[in-house]
Amino acid sequence: MEGRQEELYWLGITEAITLLRRGEVKPSELLEACLQRIRALDGRIRAFVTVTEEYALSRLEEINRDGGGLLWGIPLAIKDNICTRGVRTTCSSKILEGFVPPYESTVTERLLKEGYILVGKTNMDEFAMGSSTENSGFFTTANPWSLDRVPGGSSGGSAAAVASGMVPGALGSDTGGSIRQPAAFCGVVGLKPTYGRVSRFGLVAFASSLDQIGPITRSVKDAALLLEVISGHDPMDSTSVELTVPSYTNALDRDIKGLKVGIPKEYFIEGLDPQVERPVRDAIDVIRDLGAEVKEINLPHTPYAVATYYIIATSEASSNLARYDGVKYGLRVPSSGLLQMYMETRAKGFGQEVKRRIMLGTFALSAGYYEAYYRKAQQVRTLIKTDFEEAFNRVDVILTPTTPTAAFRIGEKIEDPLQMYLNDIFTIPVNLAGIPAISVPCGFTPEGLPVGLQIIGRAFDEETVLRVAYQYEQKTGWHLRRPPL
């Protein structure tokens, strides 16, 4: 079959599974199609920190020998803060540039068990701190829809790789929006699961009470499938919950007639770009036409979410990042004396944004300020969580824009951290409340940049979130558009 490889790389995970099982496509053909696509495009997109071609080829032999598994022969990319045994895991930080984990994260262990093939580790903002991948210690990733724009972040490499057809799916991590925001910017699907749904074992910690791993794919069904594989209790992560994992793929087909949908006033504010608001409003109309009952709701503490997040996330980060001292992991800058070695290693190994956050967090936790900042932030966090609980007494899901603007230009916000922080204004409250949310493509700006619709659900009710997303996607088909590469 000539010309086939060019099309193989646009196969979704679900479609590829069917063709692989029927023997119509070989795992080697699918893998080669992805690797060729990476060779052709990644010089311009720069989605990957490491392409694991050799590793993938040896893995191919393994899966051909062993057979079986839900994801047998499916090539995927993994964000570079998720540990892969024997494969360099850098968090896009100079301090971990040479770090090769001696163990496998639980999520990738589960993917391995189902027969997936790792093709590479994706670029990100250093330690997942950022919204554009510009904070990567190595290089910035480009948005496949417009190469002079950011792909979002921090999982920008994963989103760009999926959007440009280099892989059919990827994993990202989301602490304040890092799966959903890049998914929205790149016109793909991104799901942040409920806190505790997916094991964080082997995810390099940024803010442990907020971090969660989730899928980035080109369709809702593929996201449901990956979630099904990576979810579930893990004895290695005491915050992972002992609840049975439903079949997310089986939950998609039922219609959404009579479902109650809330639209929070606080998310349609000044600062929301009308070019983003328009497609989101249209999406709400589509969901109403599908039989849902749409009503306005209030989430009154929303205006405090960004400030609260930047106290809690930086506090946890300052503590989590204390381990990078030149002794235990990665980089060491030799110097005279231990303290000097610590200081020089951290000065050289960490980038500007990471240092800024360590300083902010250390300040917020220090004696005398703890009550005023950290404790206060925890109290406000509870209020934000309560807002959602009260809203979910009245509605089943909440719809909002994923981001206030479409993808911005590379360099546009990097000098102004506050502007950058505000880009996550609609995604952050969800992490503070620990609940699940998905971003699905819902249209384009007049310039042709993708726009994302966020669907937020009750804790551990990913099924309803995915079902609304799927019904919407089937009705509209925005996810079928491809970037002009």
Rounded Cα–Cα distance for residues 457 and 276 (Å): 21
User: Helix and strand tally (H, E) in the chain?
Assistant: 16, 11
By beta-carbon proximity to ligand GLN, the closer residue of 9 and 426 is 426
Tokens 């002079």 locate to 148
Q: Which of 123, 252, 107, 126 is nearest to 189 (CA)?
A: 252
C-alpha–C-alpha distance, residues 105 and 147, integer Å:
32
Residues 312-351 that bind ligand GLN (CB under 6 A): 313
Indicate whether 175 belongs to the interface with ligand GLN (CB under 6 A): yes
Stretch that binds ligand GLN, among 122-130, 212-220, 294-302, 404-412 (CB under 6 A): 122-130
Ramachandran class of 436: left when φ > 0, alpha when ψ lies in -120 to 50, beta otherwise: beta
| Interatomic CA distance for residues 150 and 34, integer angstroms | 22
Range 88-107, binding ligand GLN (CB under 6 A) = none
Alpha-carbon distance of 67 to 115, in angstroms, equals 8
Burial, 57: exposed, middle or buried (Cβ in 10 Å; 0-12, 13-18, 19+)?
A: middle
Q: Given the complex with ligand GLN, which of 130 and 215 has the nearer CB atom?
A: 130
> Residue 174 or 473: which CB sits closer to ligand GLN?
174
The question of whether 247 is a catalytic residue gets the answer no
Output the smallest distance, CB 394 to ligand GLN, in A: 28
**CB neighbours (10 Å) of residue 290?**
17
Among 101, 130, 169, 429, binds ligand GLN (CB under 6 A): 130
Q: Smallest gap, in angstroms, from Cβ of residue 190 to ligand GLN?
A: 11
Task: Please identify which residue in 165, 169, 177, 202 interacts with ligand GLN, judged by CB under 6 A.
Answer: 177
- For position 170 contacting ligand GLN by CB under 6 A, the verdict is no
Segment lying near ligand GLN (by CB under 6 A), choices 128-136, 274-282, 448-456, 471-479: 128-136
- Amino acid identity, position 99: F
Q: Tell whether residue 473 is a contact of ligand GLN (CB under 6 A).
A: no
Instruction: Considering the complex, state which of residue 156 and residue 349 has its C-beta at the smaller distance from ligand GLN.
Output: 156
| 143 binds ligand GLN, rule: CB under 6 A | no
Task: Give dist(CA 387, CA 265) in Å, integer.
Answer: 13
Minimum CB–partner distance for residue 79 and ligand GLN (Å): 10
Residue of 126, 174, 228, 396 that binds ligand GLN (CB under 6 A): 174
Exactly one of 56, 129, 261, 287 binds ligand GLN (CB under 6 A); which one? 129
What is the maximal distance between C-alpha atoms in the chain?
A: 70
154: cis peptide before it, omega within 30°?
A: yes
**Cα separation, 214 vs 197, whole angstroms:** 10
Cα 171-177-180 angle, rounded to 5 deg: 55
Is 26 one of the catalytic residues?
Answer: no
Q: Binding mask 178-217 vs ligand GLN (x if CB under 6 A, - otherwise)?
A: x---------------------------x-----------
Considering the candidates 79, 121, 221, 413, report the single residue annotated as catalytic.
Answer: 79
The pairing of strands 213-217 and 293-297 is: unpaired
What is the size of the binding site for ligand GLN (CB under 6 A)?
A: 13
Please compute Rg for the chain using Cα positions.
Answer: 21
- CB of 226 or CB of 313, closer to ligand GLN: 313
Catalytic residue among 131, 132, 154, 155: 154
- Residue span binding ligand GLN (CB under 6 A) among the ranges 61-69, 125-133, 251-259, 438-446: 125-133
Exposed/middle/buried for residue 337 (C-beta within 10 Å: 0-12, 13-18, 19+): exposed
SS3 category, 188: coil
Q: Can 315 be counted among the known catalytic residues?
A: no
Let me know: does 47 contact 141? Beta carbons within 8 Å: yes
Q: Which of 93, 164, 178, 231 is catalytic?
A: 178
Near ligand GLN in 389-428, by CB under 6 A? 424
Work out which of 75, 165, 168, 176 binds ligand GLN, going by CB under 6 A. Answer: 176
CA 83 to chain centre: 16
136 touching ligand GLN, by CB under 6 A: no
Interface positions with ligand GLN (CB under 6 A): 128-131, 154, 174-178, 206, 313, 424
Q: Catalytic amino acids? A: 79, 154, 178
